[in-house]
Amino acid sequence: MIDETHDRARRSWVDSANGHAEFPLQNLPFGVFTPPGATVPDARPRGGVAIGDSVFDLRAAVEAGLFSGLAARAAEAASGPSLNPLMALGAGPRRALRQQVFALLAADGAGRGQAEALAGRLLHRASDCWLHLPATIGNFTDFFAGIHHAANGGRRRDPNNPLSPNYKYVPVAYHSRASSVRESNVAVRRPSGQRKLPDEAAPTFGPCQKLDYELELAVWVGPGNRQGEPVEIGEAAEQIFGLGLVNDWSARDIQQWESQPLGPFLGKSFGSTVSPWIVTAEALEPFRIAQPPRPDGDPRPLPHLWDDRDQQQGAFDIALEALILTPQMREKGLAPHRVSQSNTSDLYWTVAQFVAHHTSGGCNLRPGDLFGTGTISGPTKAGWGSLSEQSADGTRRISLASGETRSFLENGDEAIFRAHCRRDGYAPIGFGECRGMIVA
């Protein structure tokens, strides 16, 4: 699975890509963007690939006839306003497209001559582009696989039994709302709703007082399956198009009051934010790791969720960060304050297990469906990926580098997520930011 596109020695003729912390030649994530109108006569949304500080325009490259074979089919599928048609094609065409884009952008690539001659049409400065949702999202399922997050929440309800009895058998999830998922940098309105604090006799309706973020990995589904035909665990990884970041914004006071007995509803559905670039399954190959062994005494998953190969290489080593930028920090020109650092190895289930479980009863997944992993928290406070964990549901305040304190988000605060993969012998890659500001 490792090929020349992972070779760290290869460089790009796009100078900003060489040594780029997020988008070097070895990453090549897909997204949807609108190029700047002034330079492109037909400035409609289309698929692109992030390369250094630029975006490589897949539609312009198709129009210039730069692709052949399977890659041409994939590039055409990625030329429109959503990546769903590319996602539907599965791994083969996607891999072929990656290899041909690599050959066009590599300094010693076979297609360099052709591509460089057309650079003015093919490359746009990323900061001049509008980045959109990468796909039309039919369904959004949010899992609960961050075991430290699950235990932190459960401990407040029952210190002796923080995890529900099903937790170690079932990749627990709820159906979240697809219509309100937005791309990074779209402001999120503070929701109003019913809430009843424990010391209040009756609920009231008004603005959320416990507005929180949840640091999660976004899993983008590829080809999907027919209804009634479950995806076997051994085939499930083939369903993964790629990964991004998602902020599952959470109105804790609304959620706490409404969730019994059917789970979160309006406390989550007012909005979710995804990062615009999807790091493909291919780009992540070097950063696959074994699923960490379950602690002694934990049950082995049932056979339909167990696959030796998935256990050996179905997890990812992705370092995650959650940061807050307050209006005061922006005014003073301060850097965002990092609240937590965690890693996707803190997930109790693999993404293949999500797919196998989700389809095990016959539910069909479709191209562009989105999974959240659940909040990814590390074992200690330094890794807790939501403010409700950091502030113990608002009972203590977090000190920020600016001298301010927070228990939950205030209007004007931005939550910023970042993710990076590093491994000796390979070029480090990043996911770009997932970012959103709370407004009144």
Which residue ranges make up the site for Mn ion (CB under 5 A)?
142, 214, 248
**337 classed as catalytic:** no
Nearer CB in complex with Mn ion: 85/153 = 153
CA distance 46 to 36: 12
CA distance 222 to 85: 9
Write the DSSP string, 230-243: PPPGGGGGGGEEEE
Minimum distance, C-beta of residue 264 to Mn ion, in the bound complex (Å): 8
Cβ atoms of 234 and 259 within 8 Å: the answer is: no
Query: Residue 36's Cα: distance from chain center in Å?
Result: 26
CA distance 170 to 149: 16
- Report H helices in 78-146: 84-89, 91-105, 112-117, 119-122
Query: Hey, what are 316's tokens?
Result: 């990812």
Nearer CB in complex with Mn ion: 248/307 = 248
Nearer CB in complex with Mn ion: 248/393 = 248
For residue 261, whether the previous peptide bond is cis, meaning omega lies within 30 degrees of 0, is yes
Nearer CB in complex with Mn ion: 84/272 = 272
Minimum distance, C-beta of residue 284 to Mn ion, in the bound complex (Å): 22
Minimum distance, C-beta of residue 76 to Mn ion, in the bound complex (Å): 35
CA distance 210 to 207: 9
- The residue nearest Mn ion at its CB is 248
Minimum distance, C-beta of residue 417 to Mn ion, in the bound complex (Å): 13
CA distance 273 to 404: 25
Nearer CB in complex with Mn ion: 254/427 = 254
Nearer CB in complex with Mn ion: 225/344 = 344
Question: Phi, psi at residue 101, to the nearest 5°?
Answer: -65, -40
Q: For tokens 């590039």, name the residue.
A: 75
Which of 432, 399, 438, 392 is CA-nearest to residue 415? 438
Question: Phi, psi at residue 231, to the nearest 5°?
Answer: -90, 120
Nearer CB in complex with Mn ion: 49/370 = 370
Cβ atoms of 48 and 58 within 8 Å: the answer is: yes
Nearer CB in complex with Mn ion: 142/253 = 142
CA distance 235 to 223: 12
Active-site residue identified among 6, 148, 149, 358: 149
Write the DSSP string, 268-284: HHT-EEE-S-BEETTTT
Query: Residue 154's Cα: distance from chain center in Å?
Result: 25
CA distance 410 to 417: 17
Query: Hey, what are 45's tokens?
Result: 């949304």
Please list the active-site residues.
149
